[in-house]
Amino acid sequence: METKFTEAYEQQASDTGHETDCSKVAQLLDAVVDGEATAEEQTFFTGHLEDCVPCFESHQKQKLLKGLVSGNLKRMLVPERLALAIKTKIQATTV
Amino acid sequence: MSDQTGKQISKEEKDARFEAELLPVLDPLYNFAYRLTLDEDDANDLVQETYLKAYRFFDYFEQGTNAKAWLFRILKNSFINEFRKKSKQPAKVDYSEVEGYYNSEDVEGESGVATTTDMRTESVQDLIGDEVASALNALPVDFRTVIILCDLEGFTYEEMAKILDIPIGTVRSRLHRARNSLKEKLEKYAKSMGYNG
């Protein structure tokens, strides 16, 4: 039963091979953007993007999204007294 | 605490090592505390609490290892144990999604930010920054956390798994969902500003 199912699935996959690759790429999107993909995954990803405009665009979007946070999010100023308060408390603590 | 030869070191020396190795993490740690609590006073308390705990357990910290990840983990645990219960703004740390995220009052709330609030001189960059902050703050705290740890603080998936005490697979799936959520919120904003497609 399993064999028939996988045969049918593989037949479908080869007919719609394009979509299956796209869904694999979609799953790798975050890992690639975060530099966490393996070399093999990276190669597959890059290769697919050369032939697939929608996937290329979603990669661009994901890079942009990450950049919005890493490049644009304002950092809060640490209150001046905080470092001093910590040092004082540490020095007063006898463990 | 003993040094490598097994001799007891003085408190002065321990304090000096503690300050040298752990105080440099103060800036990102405070920012993380603020993003979790969304309140400057709570962030202040949370950070102090974290450093005190870290000091109590300093003997167990291996010199030269990942001080930043270690402190972030302590802070995250303190937040879960103590601050989520008594947060001054429970709605903002609620796990359910916040509807209608864009609240003009929230933009003014970023009071400690190192930039001008004069609308006439505020650059596009600042406006984008405000929007990203608003969208991020409106996310459930778990989503907000993974995005900050990954995109802002540059932790690896493995480090994040250790900080959050979850499997790497969960880090990946949570990050994926968090980014989708953030994307949705930012797209709403872009549309409201007249950008289409």
The CATH number for B107-197, chosen from 1.10.10.10, 3.40.50.620, 1.50.40.10, 3.40.50.720, is: 1.10.10.10
Q: How far apart are CA B76 and CA B20, in angstroms?
A: 22
Q: What is the pLDDT of residues A1-36, one digit of tens each?
A: 555 555 555 544 444 555 589 999 999 999 999 999
E-state strands within B9-140: none
* CATH 1.10.10.10 in chain B, residue ranges: 107-197
CB contact under 8 A, B157 and A87: no
Q: Which amino acid is at B117?
A: T
35-94 of A, contacting B, C-beta below 8 A: 36, 61-62, 65-66, 68-70, 72-79, 82-83, 85-87, 89-91, 93-94
> Which chain B residues are within 8 Å of A73, Cβ to Cβ?
129, 132-133, 136, 152
pLDDT (0 to 100) of residue B8: 72
Query: How much is the pTM?
Result: 0.76
| Residuewise pLDDT in 10s, chain B (197 residues) | 655 555 577 888 999 999 999 999 999 999 999 999 999 999 999 999 999 999 999 988 988 889 999 999 999 999 988 766 665 544 444 433 333 333 333 444 444 444 444 454 557 777 778 889 989 999 999 999 999 999 999 999 999 999 999 999 999 999 999 999 999 998 887 777 776 55
* CATH 1.10.1740.10 in chain B, residue ranges: 1-93
CATH architecture group of domain B1-93: Orthogonal Bundle (1.10)
pLDDT (0 to 100) of residue A53: 96
Among the partner residues A65, A73, A78, nearest to B30 by beta-carbon distance: A78
pLDDT (0 to 100) of residue B114: 44
Q: What is the ipTM of this complex?
A: 0.76
Q: What is the pLDDT of residues A29-83, one digit of tens each?
A: 999 999 999 999 999 999 999 999 999 999 999 999 999 999 888 788 888 899 9
Domain ranges of chain A: 2-92
d(CA B48, nearest CA chain A) in Å: 6
Is the Cβ–Cβ distance between B145 and B182 less than 8 Å? no
95-154 of B, contacting A, C-beta below 8 A: 110, 112-115, 125-126, 128-130, 132-133, 136, 147-148, 150-152, 154
30-89 of B, contacting A, C-beta below 8 A: 30-31, 34, 40, 43-44, 47-48, 51-52, 55-56, 58
Q: What torsion do the CA atoms of B102, B108, B114, B115 make, to the nearest 10 degrees?
A: 90
pLDDT (0 to 100) of residue A20: 87
Residue A8 burial by CB count (10 A; 0-12/13-18/19+): exposed, middle or buried? exposed
Among the partner residues A69, A78, A86, nearest to B152 by beta-carbon distance: A69
Work out whether the CA dihedral A31, A32, A37, A41 comes out positive or negative. Answer: positive
Smallest CA-to-CA distance from B143 within B35, B71, B25, B34 is with B35
Is the Cβ–Cβ distance between B25 and B66 less than 8 Å? no
pLDDT (0 to 100) of residue B110: 46
